[in-house]
Amino acid sequence: MFIPTGFVQKFAVTSLGTMAYYTNLGEPWLTGKEAEEKNLPVLLFLHGFGGGSSAYEWSKVYPAFAAEYKVIAPDLIGWGRSDHPERNYKIEDYITTIIEFIEKTCSSPLVAIASSLTAAFTIRAASARPDLFKSLILTTPAGLSDFGDDYSRSFFAQLAKTPLLDRFIYTTAIANRVGIRSFLENRQFARANRISEEIVEAYLESALQPNAEYAALAFVRGDLCFDLSLYISQLNVPTAIIWGQQSEFTGPEIGRRLANLNPQAIRYFQLLEDVGLTPQLEVPAITVGLIRRFLTLLSSDLLTN
């Protein structure tokens, strides 16, 4: 397992099953009763979707905050070490379990830091339950069907909807070392030389969990995609967005259009050149710096409003 030093695995029960999460309760960070007494503010890190996704996606970033915050980084239902129920996953499954997970693990409003499609779900969760959130810092938030450009109508999504063929696609193109590296190189990273063997191994471990194909294929088929432009105006939680200029799924023009729909909530939009879909894996040090900057800016905004 890929758990950073000083982090432990814990569990929270949701309506769809048990979610594993990782938090800073070991040396050299605060432990046990000392951590409870400090009542540190919470940073919640939520990973995106793709073959083999898990909380590992943020593991090069969240330890940088472990001395100042209570860090919580879950594997979403159907991914990583969390339960993998056999079901046809829907959008509402993830919005609901994100809310339930926060209710189970946090007693005060938190800062959520989320990636790609999960960041879009987080926008909808924060719109439905703004009392749970202090602010949002999001990397490439997109519903993947934004402004009517519906991914679910694409050739690959349609192919993945074919019974039996969908499992063949998962086994041969997703849940193996070659397929994972190909996806990372061609769809997720701007530069292939930034992909380490550890990253490939972490994605492979998650992809090979029993029943991992159910959530992954729901994503590939487009079952989890939606038009975020129809919902983003409902957001009232102060938000900052980081967008990799070379994001393959949704380019920065989509990000700017989405941000411009709600400038009252979306206070900051930062474009990163020579970066793809997941800056948290590709340029983690820069991502840490930007998160720190936005934590300060969004906190100041809350004090002045």
> Which CATH number is 8-304's, of 3.40.50.1820, 3.40.50.620, 3.40.50.300, 3.90.1570.10?
3.40.50.1820
pLDDT of residue 30: 77
pLDDT of residue 246: 94
pLDDT of residue 88: 94
Does the pTM of the predicted model rise above 0.75?
Answer: yes
pLDDT of residue 132: 98
Q: What is the DSSP string of the chain?
A: ----TT-EEEEEEETTEEEEEEE--STTS--HHHHHHHTPPEEEEE---STT--GGGGTTTGGGGTTTSEEEEEPPTTSTTS---SS---HHHHHHHHHHHHHHH-SS-EEEEEEHHHHHHHHHHHHH-GGGEEEEEEES---BSGGG--GGGSHHHHHHTSTTHHHHHIIIIISSHHHHHHHIIIII-S-GGG--HHHHHHHHHHHTSTTHHHHHHHHHHTTT-B-GGGTGGG--S-EEEEEETT-SSS-HHHHHHHHHT-TTTEEEEEEETT--S-HHHHSHHHHHHHHHHHHHHHHHHHHH-
pLDDT in tens, 24-67: 998 899 776 676 667 899 999 999 998 899 999 999 999 999 99
Sorted by where each begins, the domain ranges of the chain are 8-304
pLDDT of residue 173: 83
pLDDT of residue 237: 97
Mean pLDDT, each 10-residue run in order, the chain (305 residues): 90 98 91 73 96 95 96 97 97 98 96 98 98 98 90 70 80 90 93 96 96 94 94 97 92 95 97 96 98 95 71
pLDDT of residue 169: 84
pLDDT of residue 58: 98
Query: Nearest Cα to 60, choosing from 243, 294, 276, 283?
Result: 283
